[in-house]
Structure 1
Amino acid sequence: MNEQLVANTFLYLTNAIVFGVLSFLLWQFYRGFGSKHVRLWQFSLQALTTSQLAMCVKAYTVLSSPTSLSQVLLEGIYQSSYFVFVCLFLIGLYIAQTQKSLARKHIVVITGVSFLFAWLITLIYAFADGHVYDRFFMRETVPQFLFGIAYIGMAFFSYRTPPAHVSSRIMQISFVIYGLRYFVFSMLSTVMIAEVWFSHVIRFFNFFDIGSHAVIGFSMLIWMQGAERATAKSATNKAQYLGRHDSLTGSLNREQVMEKMPELMRTAGLNGKKLSIFLLDIKRFKFVNDTYGLKTGDFILGEIARRLRDSLFQPQIVGRLSGDSFVYVFEFEQRQQIPRALSHLHELIARPYQYDGQDIMLQCSIGYSFYPEHAEKAETLLQLSNLALFHAESRNEASKQYSDDMQVQGRHLLAMEKAIKLAMERDEFELYFQPQLNLLTNKLEGVEALIRWNHPTDGLLSPDRFLPDIDALALNSVFDNYVLDKACRAIARWHQAYHRWITVAVNITAVEFQDPKFVSKIQTLLLRYDLPPNYLELEITENVVMTDLQSAMDTIVELQTMGIKVSIDDFGTGYSSLAYLRNLPIDKIKIDRSFVNEMAENDSDLTIVKSMVRLSHGLGKRVLAEGVETQTQLDILRTLNCDAVQGYFISKPICEADLVKYFKR
């Protein structure tokens, strides 16, 4: 009997040591992985170690009365630890297989309930000497039945879940065996507990449990190793994927496009087909990011990539080269397919993007080249398509095919870009000012700022020599800010030197006026030079307004709220629509010189000017006529009650040194 007692004690102590070591190994895995289920399994093995230590002490003191306080405490520690072990093990397995996380408070509640239930069944009949069978039923039959349900349920759940590793299959089989083992024991303990041979059954199941716990522990380790290999493989696959694809849209990146193109070109040549290399650039995408947020912009980029991949022309390559620039390559046999492809691509991009309850509309510019017609190298083809795209954007065209003369223009623009940026750094640009005469007071009303370039070798250059290049290079916004800064600096300088505030009108391009940060930029300039806002006037064209009427109106209202004047320049040459003036909150309308030039000889022009003046006054807006070059034109405008004029008859554009002579007089 003593030998059996020592053997049982040693067996449980050995199990406690083994499970303690396994718990330590899981802790090491947790430090490396940081996974929640690993932490739960570590705690579960710690609980199992505690239960085995309790059984070790209990086996050593087996001759003590089962109703003694020490035996009841040992039984409670064993039961509660084992319940916690089963509970945490199954929760960890659920998280590991589903990759879903349970809230910490839910895990604490579930574990706490199982802990209290274990102590409850331990304390029932704990000190009643005459209730041996009842005590056995509560401590053995009921828990084993519950464990059987738990393991069979988990086996069924694991079977329905795709296996993560080979250890998951081992656990599925083990759970079925464990569940049957607990069900069998609970039934036998109910009907056969009085049989003499039942004590041998109990001893057999004790040894079976020791082996099954070892299987569970080592299955956890196998799972950890499988998870580590899967993580490493996933990281490798992800690195390989990201090496070939754009992480945001899933499209090929530039490197992979360049790698795939030669093989595609070779295959097309063997099949007697050609390739079309389209480069797409999304218009005003920065405006979307600034207005709707980066998250919306990311969604749109992903949606564009998906539309391109799923397009009817079945592209061989869809890649994202950078930002909002995409490459689209497909095979064709007949040149007639190209216009249809272009139309299809523009329709794909123009289709509304629905995000967060909003419909966002976009358009794109496309530049394209052909293989083998234009080049036989992938890098060259992309460069040529990019050059065609540049020409499309600079000329505000939807699509542009590469042609040989673009190379000359491209080299010219590259040289001009460097020269213009250097000129701004050296402040080679100079403002000239054209006075504006108030016809009611016959006094200077203000001046319009006009830019000239004091070129170090070519002398004084007029705007037509460099503004088209600035527009083609998309430097409008930078240049507008440069001119605005110079104009505001001049206003402040004149006031300091001559104690006079002079209104300066500055032309603003569509790109800068549609910038969401435009108003804040103006506020910064006014604060920097301490200027009253009513001495800065901004001139925009009709086309700028009509491109996005609502946005333009909102910007104008903000500017007017600040006290800045806004006028429509070259009125009548754009959309030639007078109706929108009713709601447009502008201060002044500038009649284009084309109507003033022949006003004295052409009755139609005279009628148009008269109508413009009358309508503008009726809407409460002032009128300034441009291009006044004769006394006759001036007299007619006085007769028509025009508010102000400018032109060579009043004064040609003059430099600042000549303008300040007016102030001195």
Structure 2
Amino acid sequence: MIDYITPRTFLFATQAVVFSVLLFVFVVYYRTFLRKYVMYWLVSIAMLSLSYFIKAFLPYTSVDLASNNWHFIAEFILQTCQYSFLFFLVLGVFNAKTHKAIPNKIPIAGLSLIIVVSLTTTLWFSFDPSQAFNHFYLTISLPSFIFGCSFLALASYLLFDKTSYFSSKVLMYFAAVIGLRYLIHSFISIVALTEPWFRQLELFLLYFDVAAHSILGFILLIWMQGAERFAAINAINRAQYLGKHDSLTGALNREQVMAKLSDKIHELSQANKTNKNQLKLSVFLIDIKQFKFVNDTYGLKIGDYILGEIASRLNHSVFMPQAVGRLSGDSFMFVIEFEQASHVDRAVSHIHELIERTFRYEQQEISIQASIGYCFYPDDADKAEELLQKANLALHHAETNNIATVAFKEGMQAQGRHLLIMEKQLRAALEHDEFILYYQPQLNLLTNKLEGVEALVRWQHPEKGLLAPSEFLSEIEALNMHNEFDNYILDKACQASERWFNLYQRRIAIAVNITAIEFQNEQLVTNIQNLLHKYSIPSRYLELEITENVVMTDIARAMDSIVKLQSMGIKVSIDDFGTGYSSLAYLRELPIDKIKIDRSFIHEVAINDSDLTIVKSMIDLSHGLGKRVLAEGVETVEQLNLLRHLGCDAVQGYFISKPLPEDELVLYLKRKKR
């Protein structure tokens, strides 16, 4: 036992302690940062430390292993540790460089292969003293060859890596030197094993390896510190970038685009003092039409892709914008510098072309449109916030009136202030239930009986009295309050239907106007189902009317909603038919139940041959497509008789009855109570 306590034993034991301390440092690093590559290196250092511990107690002799089972087991463990050290070192470098997750099956497969190789090389020739040289080649020369090739391959990988930095370069040189050391040792151990100087060479390599492994430990520590410092710098840079840019699109955020606009205004104001050619700025606000529909139809992932692509197209515009920013969800700012007004007109057309160019994502092709509002510096304002406000007013005017592009004009501020006041009053009216329904009877011309009623909304304003729809519906549309207002009216109509049945045991079909855009709401069918269930109303007593004053952006979505409603037994009709440019498209494509001819065609139908021809054609065409026809605005007996003669199915108008408040309509219900 005394023979074992040699300088070499002490050296190996010391190295085992040193690498155990280094292992503790790696454990702390891993628990702090949870980097996968640190875990691989941690295992690698653990294997290296264990191998030194075994060497400290395993005599470096050619003693027959069969005579001592401890020698055999130790040799096997030593081989396994050395191969594992190399394997996990390389695995950690690959993970650190690529940041790609390594499947668990790879480390498991690698360890399995290492155990098989180690067991094979330890067992082979170990029980035959005459094969001692062959056993030496398997346990010494072969590992040296494998280590040499592996380290040189690692050096080559680091050499051709594009993201090289200091610690990786140091490791590259280290791996190249160590690779050459092992290959040279492998060659010499085969050709010069019996030479006297070979023992001296091995002693030199023993100390060389101790020093090399210590250096490797320092290199890995430097790598980890550098990587975390690099990660911290990246995090700081990213935080600074996100502080100035929108995280989704990469465009400037609102704060930064306004700061850049202010800087540009200051720059131009100074330049224009000395320049004869006065430079101006045009500030465009761009809003994507029906972007919620895109998200709902194609998914948020495609919606995010489109926003990023829009920002990219705007940033790379040939007009070389002074600033491009994303102000909110689907709203962008685009600022250009110009001298002549014609440049602005071309810029407007260019922006629309950029937005309307088809977006392609995987197998999807999506086309969208935009509304644009813009204003000028210094003509409209000389401060960034004022320019933004006025461009926003122009954009709002464009969206409200369904116009593609609107330039700011004086007077829009008053309209904006009016809308702000109206929004507050309308929301208060919804909260306090100030809207009431009037009901206009509809007469069936075949049976001469009441076919149903149309619900017409009025506002019982606390100060202005009873207001007609014309005094507030346009503001509801401008404020984009269709959804909550339509649902509110539907709820009131269903409440009335339930109330009439409970009091008078009568069911009357109620027709409720719904904006065409509401048919694109995925919750429409569900909301109506809930209302019918809540108030116990048979579906055939509810009719929905689509108005033509809102252009439908996706007729396929509307058709899908209508089919679902019809499958529930709810009738769907088109109101004010004939006043929209897309009327024939509606009639041909939408699976509606009833056509309501607009009053403008009925007013002179009895005295104007052109109107008579149009009304007759509408009735014949509708009947040919299996649709019922109701004429609005019937005010004379001549109109009624003519419509009956033309085959019209039903009528409504002042000749039949004016719109009635509920207390007057129920008088009719009481008379008909059975």
Establish whether TM, by shorter chain, passes 0.5: yes
CA distance in 2 between counterparts of 1:547 and 1:158 reads 56
C-alpha separation between the residues in 2 aligned to 1:614 and 1:240? Answer: 68
1:326 to 306, 325, 332: 332
Partner in structure 1 of residue 260 of structure 2: 260
Give the structure 1 partner of residue 79 of structure 2: 79
Q: Among 640, 648, 652, which residue is 2:654 paired with?
A: 648
How much has 1:294 moved relative to structure 2?
1.0
The 2-side partners of 1:454 and 1:647 are apart by: 23
Contact residue 148 and residue 179 of structure 2 kept, 8 A: yes
Contact kept? 2:443, 2:650, Cα under 8 Å = yes
Match of 1:305, as an amino acid? Answer: A
CA deviations on 1:450-470 (whole Å, 9 max, x unpaired) are 111111111111111111111
Name the SS of the counterpart of 1:483 in structure 2: helix
Aligned CA distance change for structure 1 residues 330 and 21 (closer, same or farther; 3 Å)? same
Q: Are positions 1:533 and 2:532 aligned together?
A: no
Contact 1:84 1:115 (8 Å CA) reproduced: no
1:336-393 C-alpha deviation (Å, 9 max, x unpaired) = 1111111111111111111231211111111111111111211111111111111111
2: distance between equivalents of 1:177 and 1:244?
A: 47
Tell me which residue corresponds to 2:275.
none
Query: Counterpart of 1:259 in 2: which secondary structure?
Result: helix
Counterpart CA distance in 2 for 1:369 and 1:63 is 92
Residues 49 and 130 of structure 1: CA distance in aligned 2, closer, same or farther (over 3 Å): same
Match of 1:122 in 2: 122
Letter paired with 2:187: M
Q: Deviations over 1:474-498 (max 9, x none)?
A: 1122211111111111111111111
SS in 1 for 2:660: coil
Residue 461 of structure 2 is matched in structure 1 by 455
Partner of 2:376: 370
For 1:2-38, what per-residue CA distance to the aligned partner results, in whole angstroms no more than 9, with x for missing partners? Answer: 7895211110000001111111111111111111111
Q: Which of 471, 485, 488 does residue 491 from structure 2 map onto?
A: 485
Taking the aligned partners of 1:576 and 1:311, their CA distance within structure 2 comes to 34
User: Is contact 2:158-2:164 (8 Å) kept?
Assistant: no
For 1:508, the equivalent position in structure 2 comes to 514
Cα pair 1:165 1:226 within 8 Å, conserved? no
With over 3 angstroms needed to count, the CA separation of the structure-2 counterparts of 1:285 and 1:212, relative to structure 1, is same
SS of residue in 1 equivalent to 2:507: coil
CA apart distance, 1:163: 4.7
- Change beyond 3 A, Cα 1:544–1:374: closer
Residue type at the aligned position of 2:330: D
Cα deviation digits, residues 508-550 of structure 1 (max 9, x gap): 1122122222222211211221211111111113465764333
The one-letter code sitting in structure 2 at the alignment partner of 1:387 is: L
2:577, 2:583 within 8 Å by CA — same for their partners in 1?
no
Aligned partner of 1:68 in structure 2 is 67
CA distance in 2, matches of 1:527, 1:413: 36
Residue 276 of structure 2: aligned partner: none
Task: Describe the SS at the equivalent of 1:25.
Answer: helix
2:581 pairs with one of 566, 570, 575: 575
1:111 corresponding residue in structure 2:
111
Task: Provide the residue aligned with 1:496 in structure 2.
Answer: 502
Whole-angstrom distance in 2 between the partners of 1:408 and 1:415: 11
Kept in 2, the 8 Å contact 1:67–1:129? The answer is no
SS at 1:366 equivalent: strand
How far residue 500 of structure 1 moved from its aligned partner, in angstroms, is 0.7
Displacement, 1:415? Answer: 0.5
Report the CA distance between 1:154 and its aligned residue: 0.7
- Flag the 1:413–1:163 CA change in 2: closer, same or farther, 3 A: closer
Matches of 2:554 and 2:82, distance apart in 1: 71
Partner in structure 2 of residue 305 of structure 1:
311
Deviates more, 1:9-18 or 1:79-88: 79-88
Structure 1 residue 282 displacement after superposition: 0.5
Provide the secondary structure at the position in 1 that maps to 2:576. strand
Q: Which residue of 2 aligns with 1:152?
A: 152
Judging changes above 3 Å, is the alpha-carbon distance between structure 1 residues 298 and 547 closer, same or farther for their aligned structure 2 residues? Answer: closer
Are 1:437 and 2:443 an aligned pair? yes
Q: Give the match for residue 563 of structure 2.
A: 557
**Cα distance, 1:424 vs structure 2:** 0.7
- Does the 8 A contact of 2:126 with 2:132 survive in 1? no
1:130 counterpart SS class: helix
Query: Counterpart in 2 of 1:340?
Result: 346
Question: Which letter does structure 1 place at the counterpart of 2:581?
Answer: Y
Matched positions, count: 664
1:367 aligned counterpart, secondary structure: strand
The answer for the alignment partner of 1:277 in structure 2 is 283
Q: Distance in 2 between matches of 1:346 and 1:280?
A: 9
Match in the other structure for 1:387: 393
1:594 paired to 2:593: no
Partner of 1:170: 170
2:163, 2:415 → 1: CA distance?
A: 62
After superposing the two structures, state which structure 1 stretch, 298-307 or 635-644, moved more.
635-644
Aligned to 1:420: 426
Measure, in 1, the Cα distance between the counterparts of 2:408 and 2:245: 27
Show the counterpart of 2:54. 54
Q: Is the 8 A contact 2:517 2:552 kept in 1?
A: no
Indicate whether 1:291 and 2:297 are aligned.
yes
Q: What is residue 353 of structure 1 aligned with on the other side?
A: 359
CA distance, structure 1, for counterparts of residue 431 and residue 666 of structure 2:
26
**Are 2:525 and 2:565, in contact at CA under 8 Å, matched by a contact in 1?**
yes
Q: Deviations over 1:305-362 (max 9, x none)?
A: 1111111111111111110010111111111111111111111111111123121111
What is the CA distance between 1:627 and its match in structure 2? 0.7
Judging changes above 3 Å, is the alpha-carbon distance between structure 1 residues 296 and 102 closer, same or farther for their aligned structure 2 residues? same
The residue matched to 2:647 in structure 1 has which SS? coil
Task: Give matches, 1:178-327, under 5 Å.
Answer: 178-272=178-272, 273-327=279-333
Cα 1:176–1:63 change in 2 (3 A) is closer
How far off its partner does 1:601 sit? 1.1
Corresponding residue number in structure 2 for 1:566? 572
Over residues 218-244 of structure 1, what are the superposed CA-to-partner deviations in whole Å (9 max), with x where a residue is unaligned? 111111100110111011011001101
Amino acid at match of 1:266: H
SS of equivalent residue, structure 1 residue 620: coil
Could you say if the C-alpha distance between residues 344 and 244 of structure 1 is closer, same or farther in structure 2, counting changes exceeding 3 Å?
A: same
Look up the equivalent residue of 2:180 and give its one-letter code: L
Corresponding letter in the other structure for 2:192 = M
Counterpart residue identity of residue 325, structure 2? G
CA shift for structure 1 position 127: 2.5
Q: Which residue, 512, 523, 526 being the options, matches 1:517?
A: 523
Cα shift at 1:63: 9.7
Q: In 2, are the aligned partners of 1:291 and 1:516 still within 8 Å (CA)?
A: no
Correspondence 1:16-55 to 2 at 5 A: 16-55=16-55
Contact 1:249 1:301 in 2 (8 A): yes
The aligned counterpart of 1:138 is 138
Query: Structure 1 stretch 617-626 or stretch 48-57: which is displaced more?
Result: 617-626
Return closer, same or farther for 1:461/1:3 CA change in 2, 3 Å cut-off: same
Counterpart contact for 1:167–1:222, Cα < 8 Å: yes
For 2:401 and 2:511, the matched residues in 1 are separated by 27
Q: Is the 8 A contact 2:445 2:650 kept in 1?
A: yes
Letter of the 2:587 counterpart: L
Greater displacement, 431-440 / 572-581:
572-581
Change (3 A) 1:326 1:583: closer
What is the aligned partner in structure 2 of residue 399 from structure 1?
Answer: 405
SS of alignment partner, residue 129 of structure 2: coil
Matched residue type, 2:247: S
Contact 1:148 1:179 in 2 (8 A): yes
In the TM superposition, residue 499 of structure 1 has moved relative to its aligned partner by 0.6
Letter in 2 for 1:565: K
Contact 1:23 1:42 in 2 (8 A): yes
Identity of aligned residues (%): 54
Q: Secondary structure of 1:457's match?
A: coil
CA RMSD of aligned residues (A): 1.8
Counterpart residue identity of residue 141, structure 1: S
